[in-house]
Amino acid sequence: MKNMSEKSDQKPPASEAVASFDGGRTGVLSKLTNLIYTMPAIVPLFVLTLAVAIFGILLGDRFLSPFALTLILQQVAIIGIVAMAQSLVILTAGIDLSVGAVMILSSVVMGKFSVDLGLPQEIAIICGLLCGLICGLISGFLVAVVKLPPFIVTLGMWQIVLATVFLYSGSEVIRSQTIAAEAPLLQFFGKTVSIAGANFTYGVIFLLLLVAGLTYALGQTAWGRHVYAVGDDPAAAELAGVNVRKTLISVYALAGLICAFAGWVLIGRIGSVSPQSGQFANIESITAVVIGGISLFGGRGSVAGTLFGALIVGVFTLGLRLLGLDVQWTYLLIGLLIILAVGVDQRIRKASL
């Protein structure tokens, strides 16, 4: 035991490096696993392509027309935008059940402020957006600082915000004609750009820009890396020097703001301001996120995947309707997809251990 004088000679020779990286696994299957692992969005993209191809074969031009395909985009725009907010929160291993309620609150505030209070439409819109931001900040504060579970915080926020919507609006719809006359800017996202039969509403364009913007922010900035790190292991992120609290609050606040934009886009889509609309936005957004391959345990997945997830739901809905099938078949298939998606996620996690 005393004979430790040789220890300085025990440095490993260069060839026997301390922890050299092994040469990659080979074989088609492991390569595929590796691809899915590095780009989880590839699975929903594959399912989406497959679904479009199958419905294309079954329905022909009725489905594979620029009109029908862009109709799908229009139909998923609202849920797609809300699902972007949901994606951010789920990436931090949280969940936001209040997204739909926040969206409706923002649209009601925009409508009531401009039509009932007679505020300039720009001011009304800013107030609506601020409303969403504040809701997000409250949830973020409760999750990050008070350290309550996100499920409980947003379950509570959902009830509170929805009750506020009904109390404030008296469950009254502001009609489309009234808005068009008094605050046309509220319907801004309903405007359409048409290219050869393909109709892109401004809402759709907003969704695509949002996906691009978030992809950049999550992949190319320190903030994005921190969002993933916090979702992966908050304790490790904290010790590594990430401000976990600030990151979480910023995520919930941004999610609230995105939901407020969804509320604005919603007015453009349905024309009116309706407190009853978008009741299932929270569940539908979670569905898109899960099918899109983002892990409910946080830290894994991409917003592009969520877009594909939302589109898969849209393709199934329109395709099955054009086939003349009962709408329940859509729910049945979506249900199967959700379970399949979570199954794939679990497999990836196991493979990585």
- For another protein, which stretch binds (CB under 8 A), given 93-101, 222-230, 265-273, 330-338? 222-230
- For another protein, which stretch binds (CB under 8 A), given 53-61, 78-86, 231-239, 326-334? 231-239
- For another protein, which stretch binds (CB under 8 A), given 21-29, 80-88, 272-280, 321-329? 21-29
**Lookup result for tokens 């695509």:** 208
- Which 8-state DSSP code applies to residue 273? B
Report yes or no: 146 and 214 within 8 Å, Cβ to Cβ.
Answer: no
171: tokens are 């469950």
Binding to another protein by residue 229, rule CB under 8 A?
yes
Q: How many CA atoms lie within 13 A of 189 on its CB side?
A: 25
Binding to another protein by residue 182, rule CB under 8 A?
no
Report yes or no: 270 and 320 within 8 Å, Cβ to Cβ.
Answer: no
Report yes or no: 247 and 72 within 8 Å, Cβ to Cβ.
Answer: no
- For another protein, which stretch binds (CB under 8 A), given 9-17, 59-67, 77-85, 136-144? 9-17
Binding to another protein by residue 7, rule CB under 8 A?
yes
193: tokens are 């750009």
Binding to another protein by residue 166, rule CB under 8 A?
no
Among 108, 242, 281, 318, interactor with another protein by CB under 8 A:
242
Q: Amino acid letter at 258?
A: I
312: tokens are 């898969």
Print the binding letters for residues 292-321 with another protein: x by CB under 8 A, - otherwise: -------xx---------------------
Least Å distance between CB 229 and another protein? 4
Least Å distance between CB 243 and another protein? 8
| Residue number with CB closer to another protein (224 or 278) | 224
**What are the start-end ranges of the H helices in the chain?**
28-38, 42-59, 66-91, 99-111, 121-144, 150-169, 176-182, 202-220, 222-232, 234-239, 244-270, 281-291, 303-322, 328-351
Binding to another protein by residue 352, rule CB under 8 A?
yes
Report yes or no: 105 and 131 within 8 Å, Cβ to Cβ.
Answer: yes
- For another protein, which stretch binds (CB under 8 A), given 119-127, 146-154, 226-234, 330-338? 226-234
The residue ranges that bind another protein (CB under 8 A) are: 1-2, 4-5, 7-8, 10-12, 14, 17-24, 37, 216, 220-223, 225-226, 228-229, 232-233, 235-237, 239-242, 299-300, 352-353
